[in-house]
Structure 1
Amino acid sequence: MTFAGFPDEGLVFYEGLEADNTKTYWTRNKAAYDEHVRAPLQAMLEELAPEFGTAKVFRPYRDVRFSQDKTPYKTHQGAVIHPEGRTAAWYVQISADGLRVAGGCWRLESDQVARYRRAVADDVQGPRLQAEVDRLSEGGWSIDGDRLIRVPAGYAADAPRLDLLRHKALHGGRSWEPAGWLHTRRALEEVRDAWRDLAALNAWLDDNVGATTKEIRRR
């Protein structure tokens, strides 16, 4: 299947799901989800795979075990590309709100956070990251990620790049509201260009943070 855009019917599907997040609505409209959301997203990801890698398309069902919100379905469809052996990833999402792209690291283990902060404090690597974050911010990207309110232990209150030092994860994102081009191949080009724009940020994280050496316990 060649990507031809995200059909308007897919956005309408999510508008309905936001209003009626029930198994009844999902069952009645699952064919629309399959045809107008999941299929075009997978087609787009297949075209992007030669440059960025194979994507994982997330399940549409919410994990409600530890949440007070018991609505069963996500009101967006997301996918992530996390190349093997790399720290950073690329993300794309479609919903009634439009298209969202992002890249970077959403979760770092304690050993990764320590390496990240040492690199931020470094006189060479720190300014490189600051310059890239500044460039992305000026270009319309939001720079996010869990961060401390206080100064990290072991660093002075007047340390250079203190805002970056507070981060426990770092990622950039941008969104587009629904527009006519979303229903065309331009959507693929926007995602490709956006991910390319994040390449330097992801490369910095890959080079300076690396994989965790901790044993991760799964629930």
Structure 2
Amino acid sequence: MTFTGFPDEGLLFYEGLEADNSKTYWTRSKDVYDSCVRAPMQALVDALAAEFGAAKLFRPYRDVRFSNDKTPYKTHQGAVVNPEGRGAGAWYVQISAEGLRVAGGAWRLESDQVERFRRAVADDLQGPRLRTEVDRLASAGWEIGGDRLSRVPKGYDVDDARADLLRHRSLHAGRLFEYAGWLHGPAAVDRVRDAWQDLTALNAWLADNVGATAKESSRR
């Protein structure tokens, strides 16, 4: 399937789901989700696969086992590219009623990855590289996020210019493109491509300095 845009029906579907997050609404509207949300998202990431790698589309169902919010369905459709062999550094895209969100980085790091991340941040070569890239992304309008400690971990200089980065247990950058007419056409592919290219240096730093967790091999 060639990506031709996200039909307006898909965004209206999510507006309806936000108002009525029920099995009744979902069952009645599932054909709209399949044809106007999931299928276009698959086509979009397929169009980018040659450059960034194959994507995984997330399931539309929420995991409510440990949540006070028991609404059963996600109000967005997301997809992620985790390039094989990189370990850390992924690309993300999602569509919802508010528009198109793009992001990149690492959303979860295991303890061994966190330790390598901290050592690299403290390193006099790799740390400034990350500092420069994070500052560049923030200046360009990216939101810098991630799980953070309340204070710098023990063993690291609290006066370091990279102290805020040392507090991170994960690190990612994202931005929202609010609803606009281009979402309904093929130009959306170029928007995502340009955004993901802008995140390439961040993902490369994470892949080079953090890599895969040793816990992955222990699970096999």
| TM-score relative to the length of structure 2 | 0.96
Q: Unaligned regions of 5+ residues in structure 1, if any?
A: none
CA distance in structure 2 between the aligned counterparts of 1:183 and 1:70, rounded to whole angstroms: 32
Task: Tell me the SS of whatever aligns to 1:79.
Answer: strand
Q: Which residue of 2 aligns with 1:126?
A: 127
Report which stretch shifted further, 98-107 or 153-162.
153-162
Q: Which residue of 2 aligns with 1:95?
A: 96
Structure 2 matches for 1:17-96, cutoff 5 A?
17-86=17-86, 87-96=88-97
CA distance in structure 2 between the aligned counterparts of 1:130 and 1:136, rounded to whole angstroms: 10
Q: Which residue of 2 aligns with 1:12?
A: 12
Deviation for aligned residue 1:151: 1.6
Q: Which residue of 1 aligns with 2:188?
A: 187
Task: Tell me the SS of whatever aligns to 1:214.
Answer: helix
Q: Which residue of 1 aligns with 2:209?
A: 208
Q: CA RMSD in A?
A: 1.2
Q: Which residue of 2 aligns with 1:3?
A: 3
Deviation for aligned residue 1:136: 0.6
On the 8 A contact 1:104/1:201 being kept in 2, the answer is: yes
Per-residue CA deviation, residues 68-91 of structure 1 (Å, 9 max, x unaligned), is 110000000000000111111100
CA distance in structure 2 between the aligned counterparts of 1:40 and 1:165, rounded to whole angstroms: 39
CA distance in structure 1 between the aligned counterparts of 2:17 and 2:137, rounded to whole angstroms: 33
The aligned amino acid for 2:134 is V
Task: Tell me the SS of whatever aligns to 2:214.
Answer: coil
CA distance in structure 1 between the aligned counterparts of 2:72 and 2:80, rounded to whole angstroms: 21
The aligned amino acid for 1:63 is D
Deviation for aligned residue 1:131: 0.5
Task: Tell me the SS of whatever aligns to 1:72.
Answer: coil
Structure 2 matches for 1:155-194, cutoff 5 A?
155-194=156-195
- The runs of 4+ residues in structure 1 deviating greater than 3 Å are 215-218
Aligned length: 218
CA distance in structure 2 between the aligned counterparts of 1:135 and 1:156, rounded to whole angstroms: 24
Percent of paired sites with the same residue: 73
Per-residue CA deviation, residues 8-46 of structure 1 (Å, 9 max, x unaligned), is 110000000000000000000000001100011001111
Cα distance change of structure 1 residues 199 and 178 upon mapping to structure 2, 3 Å threshold: same
The aligned amino acid for 1:175 is L
Deviation for aligned residue 1:217: 9.0
On the 8 A contact 1:121/1:160 being kept in 2, the answer is: no
| TM-score relative to the length of structure 1 | 0.97
The aligned amino acid for 1:185 is P
On the 8 A contact 1:90/1:102 being kept in 2, the answer is: yes
Task: Tell me the SS of whatever aligns to 1:60.
Answer: coil
Q: Which residue of 2 aligns with 1:198?
A: 199
The aligned amino acid for 2:15 is E
